[in-house]
Structures are given as structure tokens and as C-alpha cells.
Chain A
Amino acid sequence: QVQLVQSGAEVKEPGASVKVSCKASGYSFSTYAVHWVRQAPGQSLEWMGWINAGNGNTKYSQKFQGRVTMTRDTSANTAYMELNSLRSEDSAVYYCARGTAAHFDIWGQGTLVTVSS
């Protein structure tokens, strides 16, 4: 079936980087964009940006510009999101989602990232 499976939970120290993967199956990976959305504990959803899985073009939220990098490996049907210079406020569940604009029809299960010294 169509699904996105994300990598496991991570614990990082402040200032470090984290890279989360999102493996697609059940559909033509290059045909759809992959978006990244995060959710801090008890908070709403926050859009981080997206990558065109076909040509690799990206668009990042201004909030994360300069600190986030989204890439993809079409041979592995996998998208990646790397966030640098982590701080405690980045502790959240990070989701990948397939879609266009605000239309996200398939979501990954989420990856918990904890930033703590």
C-alpha cells in the first residue's frame, strides 16, 4: 500500500544536526512532492518546507531558511530532512507528508527528535 516510513527517534545535544529519512513505497516517488511538518509537544503543526522529488527543487519556510536542507534519493525512494544548529525549541515530532500546497494525503508515522544536553 501507499506509505511513508520514517527513521527512528533521535536524541541530540544543542548545536548538533539531525537528519530524518522518509522512505516511500506503493507509488511513483518522483511524481509527488514531499513536505516536512513538525509538531512541538502540545503545539500545533508547523510547515517547514518541501522538495520536488522529481527534480530536487526545494522551498523552505522563512523560519528555517539557512538551517534546514531537504534532499532526496530517487534510487532509494527516500526523502531526507536535515536540521542544523539544534536548540531545545527544536524538540518535536517531525513528519514527512506527500502532497501539494496544503493537500497532504499520505503522512509518515513521525520521528521524535529530542534536543537536550
Chain B
Amino acid sequence: QSVLTQPPSASGAPGQRVTISCSGGSSKIGNNYVYWYKQLPGTAPKLLIYTNNQRPSGVPDRFSGSKSGTSASLAISGLRSEDEADYYCAAWDDSLSGVLFGGGTKLTVL
């Protein structure tokens, strides 16, 4: 069981906006940056959002991240078929001195 909690699934129609949540304690999300990764089947994860809300070069501005207290969210607007993937949040855990990942959210584009 992952210590960062994500909904197992999310869905939306093309063009819609969906959000994926990620919650954790003060020693995790509360005191540290949150990162988001996108993983297509059979491929390595890809960095999507870093330091809560920054997008690496090449990531469309349809993707945005936010954090408040011990929770974070990934929002995807203008949903497209290629957004169908697994999404993971991650954060450093001060008490473990290690990295935690969320359980992952499978996004389906209807």
C-alpha cells in the first residue's frame, strides 16, 4: 500500500478537464515538493510536473500542478486520446529519508 494516496482511476471525454489528487502527510507532501510522472504501457515513466507546478520543456501547458498543505493535484485540460496513461505522484519523505510514489491513477479518455 502506497503512502501517497491517489484515486485508482479517472476518466473524461475528449476536450474535458480532469484532475487527479495525491495526498500524504506533513513529512511528505507537507514539507516537500511534489512531482508528477506519466507512464504509457511498456515504457519508462516520464517527468510531467516538477516542484509542484513547473513543466519541463516539451510538456504542453494543458498539464498543470498545484499543492496545498498535504495534498497535491494534477490537472489536464483539453483532454486528448494520447493522455490515456498511468499517472504517478512522488515526493521526498523526511521521516524515511527516501522517495515515495503514489499508487498511480489510470486515466481513460472516453
What is A's interface to B at a CB cutoff of 8 Å? 35, 37, 44-47, 49, 59, 61-62, 95, 101-105, 107-110
Contacts and interface: CB of A to CB of B under 8 A. Distances in A.
- Helix, strand, loop or mixed for chain A's interface? strand
B88 A45 contact: yes
Nearest to A109: B44
- Helix, strand, loop or mixed for chain B's interface? strand
A44 B100 contact: no
B44 A107 contact: yes
A44 B104 contact: yes
Interface of B: 2, 32-35, 37, 44-47, 50-51, 56, 88, 90-92, 96-104
B91 to A, nearest CB: 5
Contacts of A46: 101
Contact of A44 (B34, B44, B91, B101): B101
Given A44-B102, A45-B88, A107 B33 contact: no
Contacts of B34: 102
A35 B92 CA distance: 13
Pairs of residues from A and B, 5 with the lowest C-beta to C-beta distance, nearest first: A47-B99, A107-B44, A102-B90, A101-B92, A45-B101
A47 B44 contact: no
B33 A104 contact: no
Nearest to B96: A62
